[in-house]
Structure 1
Amino acid sequence: MALLAYGAPAGDKPLEPMTIERRAVGPRDVQIDIAYCGVCHSDLHQVRAEWGGTLYPCVPGHEIVGHVRAVGAEVSRFQVGDVVGVGCLVDSCRTCASCEEDLENYCEKGWTGTYNGKTDDAPGHTLGGYSQQIVVNDHFVLKISHPVDQLAAVAPLLCAGITTYSPLRHWNTGPGKKVGIVGIGGLGHMGVKLAHAMGAHTVAFTTSESKRQDALDLGADEVVVSRNPDEMAAHVGSFDLIVNAVAASHDLDAFTALLKRDGTMCMLGVPEHPHPSPNIGALIFGRKAIAGSLIGGLAETQEMLDFCAEKGIVADIEMIRIQDIENAYDRMQKSDVKYRFVIDNATLAA
């Protein structure tokens, strides 16, 4: 069946309407009518071949929320009409040590992305959520229990939400812990909400005084303008964890100085140019760590969705028509969104 989608025919071409095919529903598959799809910065990088290796036509989108249209004969967890989500992964080897520990995101044989991942299905690579429907193996489908009126704002949880939730959980964020979130954008605004909901003393770092009130409104207990030396100095040696959501190259020493002994700064963004080399002595003499984290496995993503539903947490979004996607990309590059664009997929048929 031909389905409507938006995708790029080449790296130097804008996204445009196109028709795509999805595979027939297999025994373990779930067919989903997509209602909403979040817009991630990764979409822009991939579409414009800024990371290399993009396969065309490229239909992006890995923050998917929709309704089950059909299920395969061996599927028992889902039924027609269920509200479900699909995140960044649609397959993995299922047999390596990471997969067996529910860490499919670290699959040692390589996981398959929701778009631009190699597959036997036509056209030979996966096509994402800027489309009317998707067919996904049931292992990679997630249950959503948020109220209906929040579903659009749930979509970014499938990437921005789990990307920040996973390191917060891994480093045991909770009451009695002091946690910093660097960068108040698509990822960072979720990090502030989640760290606060977990009970940590949450400090937001921003380069802009104009974002101070916004960060407080998101749930930060304190806000530090990182360009202010006095504000930074007041927090030296006090953080258990800093989650750094800034993808641009910057001085990491300014933040590692704020860590306690045994504290960790977890990096979430890959910069276009390498960060200046950190002061290794400062790490050695404080037994401090600079670490990284990549999205989350399926079990942890489901845990995150359930936690967010229980706590009433969603992303702050701006809804757009699919026809406005190029303008959204331009605005996203300028950080002109609070804090995540979400596509109303019904507009594909407009």
Structure 2
Amino acid sequence: MIKAIARAVFGSVGPFKPTTIERRDLQPHDVLIEIKYSGICHSDIHTARGEWGPVNYPLVPGHEIAGVVAQVGSKVTKYAIGDRVGVGCMVDSCRECDRCREGNEQYCRNGNTGTYAATDRYGQYTQGGYSTHIVVTEDFVVRIPDALGLDVAAPLLCAGITTYSPLRHWKAGPGKKIAVVGLGGLGHMAVKLARAMGAEVTVLSQTLKKKDDGLRMGADHYYATNDPETFNKLVGSFDLIINTVSAKIDVGAYLSLLTLDGTIVNVGAPAEPMSIHVLPLILQRRSFAGSTIGGIRETQEMLDFCAEHRIAPEIEVIAANQIDEAWERVLASDVRYRFVIDIRTMKEEIEWRKK
């Protein structure tokens, strides 16, 4: 087994503690990645605190992973030692069902294997990217283009693909009017991506306090949803609304903002259920949909698109001993716009303690 240094939670109320975890020995098609950076996603918090179901502790979260190939299995053909690579929200799937064969591993009929808090095909409980190393089959590793720094590439493996996938699926582009609900880790990426695709972009945020940021990132318009006049003014305006917030919203109010055949897509995942009235759907042939991440092929496409268009998330790099504070700031919406852990600081802390 391969030893890795990690930060783990040992219960639903934390805090994080240094620990050592074991990674499996490399199988023929496996890649050992030395993790350089790991992004912090709101999903990490939901999962670790048991809000999405029971969790086995200790848990090492993290599914926005960027690093360098340190070792390869005997039959690996896609990567070599030293390659710049990433791992997102899943590390395996059945690879046999029609959805996997079509490149939609995220919707695997037999269930994909999450990067953490899941059981893999070897019977091991998966642990995520808040660690120094990870072993992943080469088919679930993506290549990070040279034009992207590893630190900014990490959040693209969740925040980037989570917003890119629905924008592509619902054909964002010139002539389309798109609204993004929330300007956080997901929302700011949705704005940048939609703008690069050629759409007219509007941000719908609770207040105007991030308006300057939103416009700088590429939004054409910015409205406060705590102003009732916003919903009166924008009735029937949008072809597509990407809802990125992880809190309950008044879906009916946002449905009224869609034009004929418009769609609101939820990518934020609130812990509590939301309800809707169907009449607004029926009268304008509107749709209320959901979307998760993209498949591996689409994730690579997204990374290449970001490199080509010079799109990167706006990040705050932190040390491993700041994770608890960062989580609290995520919950308080006090981050602009994604925390990224410098994994080197885990090793440096261990080395310091040995002195």
- Cα offset, 1:120, TM superposition: 5.5
* Residue type of the alignment partner of 1:286: Q
* Residue type of the alignment partner of 1:86: V
Percent of matched pairs sharing the same residue: 50
Match of 2:246 in 1: 247
Match of 1:22 in 2: 23
Q: Partners of 1:63 and 1:146 in 2: how far apart?
A: 18
Partner-residue secondary structure (3-state), 2:210: helix
Q: Partners of 1:215 and 1:186 in 2: how far apart?
A: 12
Partner-residue secondary structure (3-state), 2:209: helix
Match of 2:97 in 1: 96
Partner-residue secondary structure (3-state), 2:259: strand
Partner-residue secondary structure (3-state), 1:209: coil
| Residues 92, 120 of structure 2: 8 Å contact kept | no
Match of 2:170 in 1: 171
Match of 2:195 in 1: 196
Match of 1:344 in 2: 342
Choose 45-54 or 237-246, whichever is displaced more: 45-54
Partner-residue secondary structure (3-state), 1:159: helix
Q: Are 1:111 and 2:119 counterparts?
A: no
Q: Partners of 1:121 and 1:12 in 2: how far apart?
A: 29
Match of 1:126 in 2: 126
With normalisation by structure 2, the TM-score equals: 0.95
Q: Partners of 1:125 and 1:309 in 2: how far apart?
A: 33
| Residues 319, 345 of structure 2: 8 Å contact kept | yes
| Residues 224, 232 of structure 1: 8 Å contact kept | no
- Cα offset, 1:93, TM superposition: 0.5
- Superposition map of 1:53-72 within 5 A: 53-72=54-73
Match of 2:35 in 1: 34
Choose 69-78 or 35-44, whichever is displaced more: 69-78
Q: Are 1:320 and 2:321 counterparts?
A: no
Aligned pair in 2 of structure 1 residues 303, 120: CA closer, same or farther (>3 Å)? closer
Residues 161-181 of structure 1 show CA distances to partners (whole Å, capped at 9, x for unaligned) of 000000000000001110110
Q: Are 1:77 and 2:78 counterparts?
A: yes
- Superposition map of 1:268-287 within 5 A: 268-275=267-274, 277-287=275-285
- Cα offset, 1:121, TM superposition: 5.1
Q: Partners of 1:104 and 1:43 in 2: how far apart?
A: 21
Show structure 1 runs of 5+ residues with no match.
none
* Residue type of the alignment partner of 1:3: A
Q: Partners of 2:87 and 2:81 in 1: how far apart?
A: 16
Match of 1:227 in 2: 226
Match of 1:6 in 2: 7
Q: Partners of 1:238 and 1:28 in 2: how far apart?
A: 49
Residues 209-257 of structure 1 show CA distances to partners (whole Å, capped at 9, x for unaligned) of 2111111111101111112233332221121100011121111111111
- How many residues are matched? 347
Match of 1:46 in 2: 47
* Residue type of the alignment partner of 1:102: G
Partner-residue secondary structure (3-state), 1:330: helix
| Residues 207, 223 of structure 2: 8 Å contact kept | no
Match of 2:353 in 1: none
Q: Partners of 1:131 and 1:75 in 2: how far apart?
A: 23
Q: Partners of 1:246 and 1:36 in 2: how far apart?
A: 24
- Cα offset, 1:50, TM superposition: 2.2
CA RMSD of aligned residues (A): 1.3
Q: Partners of 2:42 and 2:269 in 1: how far apart?
A: 12
Choose 167-176 or 71-80, whichever is displaced more: 71-80
Residues 65-123 of structure 1 show CA distances to partners (whole Å, capped at 9, x for unaligned) of 0001111121111111000000000010011121111000001111100011102557x
* Residue type of the alignment partner of 2:105: E
- Cα offset, 1:10, TM superposition: 2.2
Q: Partners of 2:312 and 2:30 in 1: how far apart?
A: 27
Residues 311-340 of structure 1 show CA distances to partners (whole Å, capped at 9, x for unaligned) of 111111000001111011111110110011
Partner-residue secondary structure (3-state), 2:85: strand
Match of 1:152 in 2: 151
| Residues 140, 298 of structure 1: 8 Å contact kept | yes
Show structure 2 runs of 5+ residues with no match.
349-355
Match of 1:332 in 2: 330
| Residues 105, 297 of structure 1: 8 Å contact kept | yes
